[in-house]
Structure 1
């Protein structure tokens, strides 16, 4: 395959369209990869041209960061590698300030991650999840301080409400802080909620979307079927969990799985490749995080962008997976808009539109070429 790169949001940081997730590096959670397998997946990804690595302090109790740092050092790739890591989660029971998004924990967490990664800077540092407490002002000021210290290059947010992301970006713009360059969010044929707010926010305000769980925790891989129960798949182990990321066994999702299987067959591709391709080629998506436990899985996933999904097949996937727009988005359709515009035809500015440019001695002009 030929890896291509997108800049992350409005930043100048170039990242490969497929990122390597390291949440499966280590067996501390019971379903990860051992060290040799982790290294083999890392090598396969690098040899395919990948440069973007996603990790977090929480992942396998710190093992993921440690292994990633070692693998990068072994191959002398620190200047090539783009490392993304995250803070928020607490790994010190009984210490309330060893988690969350307050300044004290962020400063503690970044130093711990730098030590495990064996580096003196992190390319992209993200809030892992909204703690429902810390003001965006405190978070953005602290992240900006880390950039000024040289410990962090760019900053981002993961798993936050859209209003919080909007406020954080506005604060950064107003106060001259390092802006949010990335949003890390769940997105797949089975989970399309980010299309309502996050995709428009990211495309309009400079935040590239990093997709996690493009296979819906394995549901879209083809290993699960409605009548099947008790296999060793990860989702089966979470059937009784309340974790929202694993609540995938629904009638709607089984219909998506069935249609995905048909489309994949017509394309002559595996279901995982088609599911990843669909996500990666949606609006606003900068990169898709691949999470695998075997070398064969990562090798297969790396071929996900070597083909195109024809429009008719994409329409079928869109149709089976589309969900009704919630309020207020249900209120923004053609009927309401016609009343807003008085029936006049309007729309987005054409491609190539430029704002009026004043040249001394000449009237303003607008280019629509």
Structure 2
């Protein structure tokens, strides 16, 4: 496992992040504590040090399992990320949302479940369209000054909100968001319209959730396996089938699994990107870990990029059209490209 810096920070994290949403069996699925421990052991033995969880995963059981595991291991070796926003109890009207009251309450509860004095990376989980971004940033900065949180990050939030937040934080001397967690995969590239260009501008690392599109990119639906995803979803429609078939073809050519191809495509983007790989079984994790050794050729990347390309919409597509026009009027963009 290689290590990368997380955003514009000096924090060193493994090139794959272990997602712990499946630690616990609430909801009728997931891994028992012993299986979760084995998964974390295998991840650590491979050089992995980056865990991702949330206050609501498995009704708090995910954090409890990680907390018990860390109690028997070197806490400082691991970089632990969790989240706040979603309701983890029904005690009061402010037990959810991005507001400062819920932030402080949620962090205190997470610290108890995780049995730790500090959270390395705290994500705002989902934008609530209610709380002012300056309230969020001041609260996060206070937690960082208190030593309860080390770095701030944000997830599932419009690009304009994140952009305003990081600009305001820079102006006020508050801690900026260093990572952006969004859905991103060969089947879900809409983040390339606004979110990913914004992340590149601010030097944020993108930590995609569902990098294998819920397993769709492993080819399981092509093999006739069933799942919780409906056939008409964007993971099982005709476009998804075409993209998955391209992944399968490349995997067959290289003699690797489909997940290796899908993950390596993501790990070799032109921006900082660390996929979150979830696992409820040890063989799932071991398969995903081998993605770091997979090498795709330029032809492979071209094939995957073309088959999964999306329309950027306005103004992205308009900019592309404008570039063509400008090139025909004196080669302006050619000169910029050379610089």
Within 1, Cα distance between the matches of 2:296 and 2:231? 35
Q: Which residue of 2 aligns with 1:47?
A: 45
1:108-127 to 2 correspondence within 5 Å?
A: 108-127=105-124
Runs of 5+ consecutive residues of structure 2 not aligned to the other structure: none
Q: Which residue of 2 aligns with 1:324?
A: 311
Q: Which residue of 2 aligns with 1:60?
A: 58
Contact 2:66-2:114 at 8 Å conserved across structures? yes
Instruction: Give the greater-gyration-radius structure (CA).
Output: 1
1:97-112 to 2 correspondence within 5 Å?
A: 97-112=94-109
Within 2, Cα distance between the matches of 1:112 and 1:175? 29
Kindly indicate whether residue 336 of structure 2 is the aligned counterpart of residue 347 of structure 1.
yes
Match of 2:34 among 30, 33, 36: 36
Runs of 5+ consecutive residues of structure 1 not aligned to the other structure: 351-369
Is the helix fraction higher in 1 or 2? 2
Match of 2:247 among 241, 252, 260: 260
Match of 1:239 among 226, 230, 235: 230
Q: Which residue of 2 aligns with 1:145?
A: 142
Contact 1:8-1:286 at 8 Å conserved across structures? no
Q: Deviations over 1:302-321 (max 9, x none)?
A: 01010210111111111111
Q: Which residue of 1 aligns with 2:260?
A: 273
Q: Deviations over 1:316-359 (max 9, x none)?
A: 11111111221110110154464497543332575xxxxxxxxx
Q: Which residue of 2 aligns with 1:195?
A: 192
CA 1:91/1:38 → structure 2, altered by over 3 Å: closer, same or farther? same
Contact 1:20-1:52 at 8 Å conserved across structures? yes
SS in 2 for 1:169: helix
Q: Which residue of 2 aligns with 1:301?
A: 288
Aligned residues: 337
The answer to which of 55-64 and 247-256 deviates more is 247-256
Within 2, Cα distance between the matches of 1:56 and 1:259? 34
Q: Which residue of 1 aligns with 2:9?
A: 11
Within 2, Cα distance between the matches of 1:91 and 1:145? 22
CA 1:31/1:210 → structure 2, altered by over 3 Å: closer, same or farther? same
SS in 1 for 2:181: strand
